[in-house]
Amino acid sequence: MTGGGTGVGKEIALQMADAGAFVTITGRRQAQLDAVAGLHANIAGFSADVTDRASLKALVRTATGGWGEISIAVANAGAANSVPFSRMTEEDWKDTLEINLTGVFHTFQAVLPGMEKSGWGRLISVASTAGLKGYSYVSAYCAAKHGVVGLTKSLSLELATKGITVNTVCPGFTETPMLERSIENIMTKTGMDPESARKALTSTNPQGRFIQPEEIASTICWLCEETSGSVTGQAISVSGGEI
């Protein structure tokens, strides 16, 4: 699983490990991965960069060498940067797509041969409600996440008869370190206090709250079950009714 060192990724790793899976997590910061791996004997962490194709392939070799072929891959790595479209640089655009869209492409391509060989697999990405609607000032992020949804729908058709499902989970604003950075950004740009900034973000959720990481993780664990084998090509909203 990519992006496994904090937030949603950490919770997914722990829930899957509790269910009996052997989980390899990756991210850019080895210290964070080690901290998560130290919480469960079924978790191992190795640093890799989802924007680097060779890095992902090397990770897969390491993971399969330790625990056998990968049957479930969760592409969770992502990042968002708030900037008006008129001030967005080409570098901003490329960086956002590399992490949020190309990273999913690299991850899925790295693990797919093993799944095709075994005739069973789960390809799951963590997108966002930004893959199902638009938000102001994050147009590159929305474009990338819409791309993930399109990739999901297309790839699921290619793999429909091969025992491999492809789905994406689309959370609303989720209580994670990335959310805290968004709140700090709102406070800096608008002068809002923390409570007002948080209310500005929860206002899009009909339930009036943030999504919790364990809610996303449990949805992903359900998609990994045998009984979810007919669920493929779906963009599943976990957003309190926002979508």
10 Å CB burial of residue 203 (0-12, 13-18, 19+) is exposed
Would residue 137 show up in a list of annotated catalytic residues for this protein?
no
- Kindly provide the residue ranges of all beta strands, DSSP E only, lying in 65-116, ordered along the sequence: 72-75
| Residue 64 tokens, joined | 């399969």
Q: What is the dihedral of CA 154, 159, 160, 166, to 10 degrees?
A: -60
Distance CA 117, CA 141 (A): 34
Catalytic residue from among 46, 105, 108, 141: 141
- Kindly provide the residue ranges of all beta strands, DSSP E only, lying in 108-159, ordered along the sequence: 121-126
Active-site residue list: 141
